[in-house]
Chain A
Amino acid sequence: EPEVTQTPSHQVTQMGQEVILRCVPISNHLYFYWYRQILGQKVEFLVSFYNNEISEKSEIFDDQFSVERPDGSNFTLKIRSTKLEDSAMYFCASSDTTSGRPDTQYFGPGTRLTVL
């Protein structure tokens, strides 16, 4: 069964450093998402991406964040200058479309980001 994959599974970085989290969505999906989950808290929407551009973003997704689909398979989340409060699990998800609306989102296993 196709699945969303994410690398690395755990990233440790120093405050102020740039990190890139990588995702390979399900191959025929058209919508891509990043979410984060701070330890013990609920899943929070960061950004959605469709047709090579951001379609929605939350207030969390400020200028320090960016997303890119550099080729036909990868979808990346970059944090330019990490802060302590960026420590969280970051989940990538992808979905197909039904009548032009996003369908079920399938999540990857997540990348645990630890900022020291």
Chain B
Amino acid sequence: GESVGLHLPTLSVQEGDNSIINCAYSNSASDYFIWYKQESGKGPQFIIDIRSNMDKRQGQRVTVLLNKTVKHLSLQIAATQPGDSAVYFCAENIPYNFNKFYFGSGTKLNVKP
């Protein structure tokens, strides 16, 4: 039968504004997290990662925040550009299952020029 598409939450921002994308992860034992960007028709592209011994990590124009208490990750993109338009999702990894990554369902970011 026909598969039903997943309705992705969408974040629309104006070019130049900052974007914040959120992810709730499922397993309190997860200790390694990655944010990916996926453009239409392409494979996921690594953006930034963080291990659980940190609560913040910065890259170029991106910052990841980790709140282990509430099992929450966020990705902040500074000065958002039209090229940032994509689906963003987080992935988590568990120490005792460390060859398997669990992906979230994603957030679609629309950047308006």
Interface residues of chain A, those whose CB is within 8 Å of chain B, are: 4, 31, 33, 35, 38-45, 48, 50, 55-56, 58, 85, 91, 101-102, 104-110
Give complex CA distance A55, B99 in Å: 7
Q: In the bound complex, how far is the Cα of B95 from the Cα of A46, in angstroms?
A: 18
- In the bound complex, residues from chain A placing their C-beta under 8 Å from that of B25 are none
Please judge, given known A-B contacts A108-B43, A109-B42, whether A41 and B99 are in contact too, CB under 8 Å.
Answer: no
Contacts of B101 in A (CB 8 A): 33, 45, 105
Q: List 8 A-B contacts (CB under 8 A).
A: A42-B105, A50-B99, A56-B99, A58-B100, A104-B46, A107-B44, A107-B46, A109-B42
Which of B5, B49, B98, B103 is A44 in contact with, Cβ under 8 Å?
Answer: B103
Nearest-neighbour CB distance to chain A for B48, whole angstroms, equals 9
CA distance A85 to B1 in the complex (A): 8
Known: A42-B6, A45-B102, A104-B49. 4 other contacts (CB 8 A): A31-B99, A43-B38, A102-B93, A110-B43
Write the nearest CB–CB distance from A53 to chain B, whole angstroms. Answer: 11
- Chain A, Cβ-Cβ closest to B31: A101
A101 touches B32 (CB 8 A): yes
B residues within 8 A CB of A41?
A: 3, 5-6, 105
- Quick check: is B53 within 8 A (CB to CB) of the other chain? no
Check if A43 sits within 8 Å of B103, measured CB to CB.
Answer: yes
Chain A CB within 10 Å, residue with most, of B4, B46, B89:
B46
Query: In the complex, A109→B39 CA distance in Å?
Result: 11
